[in-house]
Amino acid sequence: PKGSNIMNLKQKILDYAAKNDIELVGFGSKERWDGVDAQHNPFAIFPEGKTVVLVGKRICRGSLRGVEEGTNFGDYGTYGISWLEDSFLATACYDLTRVIENEGWEACPIFNNPTEIEPQGVAVAEGRPAPNVYPDFRYAAIACGLAEISYNDMVFTKKYGSRQRFQMIITDAEIEPDPILTESICDMCGKCADVCPLNAISKTEYETLTVCGKEMKIAKINYAACKSCPNGARGNRLSAAARPDRIAALCNRTCMCHLEENELIENVFENKFRTRKTWAKDGSGRNVEVKD
């Protein structure tokens, strides 16, 4: 149908997501991107778009088990990163794109590329940004009402903490936006900084990030150190210039334990994730003791 009832579209998207195990869906209106530079603004890709639909699937806690034990690092890279992004999440994003287009509204699916990737071409016309425009997904997670940025500079949702990945749909359907998350998930405990053997996370120096009126304190982090971290961090698979993937790193696994044990997130488990003293290595690869 041509532009079918837009009032029912949001519910159709949510119903499809629930039925097909698409665990996170958030909606953000175009106005929430006012002031975002064109090189990182989704509406530079689709100027007639009205809404961003953010689509997420969880990173299963068990995919981090081998890293926590120090006995298997590769399967997190498969189930937690590459297969999750390239297959499971891409299929979910594609399916929701079809749901929207079946209702007569255009839907533009966008993969989560690092914003640090420089444009690979020249602008096709005056006033347009150079290709490729890569939207800021951290910003989008906040602007779609799903997340905040933690003190450890991670995207936290109320459901899973840091354990999810996102893709995006831009549509010309004007869908009611979700409210910005007002409650705080990160309680600023500082354990991420305490546990880091590289001292890469400051407990005293931070910046305040404001997105759509939501203020978040983010630690000053030495990302050069994080890129060589032997404690579970890994380089970004799409760009060496991008920030490393720290979801499996010691700092974030410690955050995860804290969030679960204090029930600051919804997805909690029968047994604790960490039941014995964790392993850690310093920048030279030596085994070191860390604070509990």
What pTM was estimated for this model as a whole? 0.96
CA distance 62 to 136: 28
Strand 51-58 versus strand 107-110 pairing type: unpaired
| Among 161, 157, 162, residue whose Cα is nearest residue 144 | 157
Tokens of 168: 């995006």
* pLDDT surpasses 70 at 1: no
Mean pLDDT over all residues of the chain?
96
Report the Cα 245 to chain-centroid distance in Å: 11
Give the three-state DSSP class for 14.
Answer: helix
Report the Cα 144 to chain-centroid distance in Å: 12
Tokens of 239: 């760009």
**Exposure string for 156-166, b = 16+ CB within 10 A, e = fewer:** bbbbbbbbbbb
Which pLDDT band holds residue 291 (cuts at 50, 70, 90)?
confident
DSSP 225-273: HHTT-SSS-B--SS-TTSPPB-TTSHHHHHHHHHHHHTT-SS---SS-S
* pLDDT surpasses 70 at 242: yes
One-letter identity of residue 23 = E
In this prediction, residue 198 carries a pLDDT of: 97
Count of other CB atoms within 10 angstroms of residue 284: 7
Alpha helical stretches, state H, 70-136: 74-75, 83, 90-102
* pLDDT surpasses 90 at 19: yes
* pLDDT surpasses 90 at 13: yes
Asked whether the beta carbons of 292 and 271 are under 8 A apart, the reply is no
In this prediction, residue 244 carries a pLDDT of: 97
In this prediction, residue 6 carries a pLDDT of: 80
Which pLDDT band holds residue 277 (cuts at 50, 70, 90)?
very high
Q: pLDDT tens digit string along 203-234?
A: 999 999 999 999 999 999 999 999 999 999 99
CA distance 28 to 168: 11
DSSP 142-160: HHTTSEEE-TTS-EEETTT
In this prediction, residue 292 carries a pLDDT of: 64
Q: pLDDT tens digit string along 109-152?
A: 999 999 999 999 999 999 999 999 999 999 999 999 999 999 99
CA distance 123 to 114: 20
**Exposure string for 210-249, b = 16+ CB within 10 A, e = fewer:** ebbebebebbebeeebbbebbbbbbebeeeeebbbbbbbb
* pLDDT surpasses 90 at 39: yes
